[in-house]
Structure formats: structure tokens, C-alpha cells
């Protein structure tokens, strides 16, 4: 039986306020789906990084990790940096399945939501 976990993966910033939206997504999942184990991870400038967040999940028995790129599009970080990090994780943890979703900003539901928010004040 597999035990799933989710990592919300974002760029990172030294400004602690920048992290608030990512952490709000984490809190929302934790509140509405408490059975899911979720961690935030950052590419640079703050911690934890992806290996640290995955290690926390694996220490809790997680053996199927879905990495959710919290990016608006597939830029260099999602196209190059993230796959390299996940390849290294797969090599170091062959008993764990790692799945990388498309960036959240490319989901048609997110596109529709952003369009709605952008046009809301002009109505």
C-alpha cells in the first residue's frame, strides 16, 4: 500500500511575506484534507529545499511524492532545475515514486480564476 505526500514547490525569496501564499495553500490542504501529508519546498533563498521537504515526508512513511510546481508557467526552473532535482531524488530513493505535475498556472482552472479576478473590478 502506498502512502502519498505532496510537496508544494516554489522559487523562494528572502522576504518572508513572499512565502505567505504558498503556505496558505499548504494550510488549506491541511485543513480540508488532513489525511494528506504536505510540505512546502523552495528552489533557493529560503528553506526547506526539495530534498529536505521530501526527506521529512519519507521519514513519515511516504513512498509516493507528488511535486506541485507553484509557478505560473513552465520557465527554466520548471523545465530544467526541477527535473534535475527530481532525478537526483529518484536515484537516491529508488523505493519512492516521484511525480511532477505541470505548473499550477498552466491549469485551465487557474487561468479561468485569474481571468475572473482580473476582470472582477471592471464589472
Q: Which residue among 11, 26, 64, 93 is the active-site one?
A: 11
Helices (H), the chain: 20-32, 50-59, 76, 82-92, 108-120
Distance (Å, rounded) from C-alpha 77 to C-alpha 122? Answer: 34
11 is catalytic: yes
**Residues acting as catalytic residues:** 11
Amino acid at each position: 500500500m502506498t502512502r502519498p505526500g505532496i510537496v508544494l514547490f516554489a522559487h523562494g525569496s528572502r522576504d518572508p511575506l513572499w512565502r505567505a501564499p504558498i503556505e496558505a495553500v499548504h494550510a488549506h490542504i491541511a485543513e480540508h484534507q488532513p489525511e494528506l501529508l504536505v510540505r512546502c519546498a523552495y528552489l533557493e533563498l529560503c528553506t526547506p529545499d526539495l530534498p529536505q521537504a521530501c526527506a521529512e515526508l519519507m521519514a513519515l512513511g511516504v513512498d509516493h511524492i507528488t511535486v506541485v510546481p507553484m509557478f505560473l508557467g513552465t520557465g527554466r526552473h520548471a523545465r530544467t532545475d526541477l527535473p534535475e532535482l527530481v532525478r537526483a531524488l529518484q536515484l537516491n530513493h529508488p523505493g519512492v515514486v516521484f511525480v511532477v505535475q505541470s505548473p499550477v498556472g498552466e491549469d485551465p482552472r487557474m487561468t479561468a480564476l485569474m481571468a475572473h479576478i482580473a476582470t472582477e473590478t471592471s464589472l
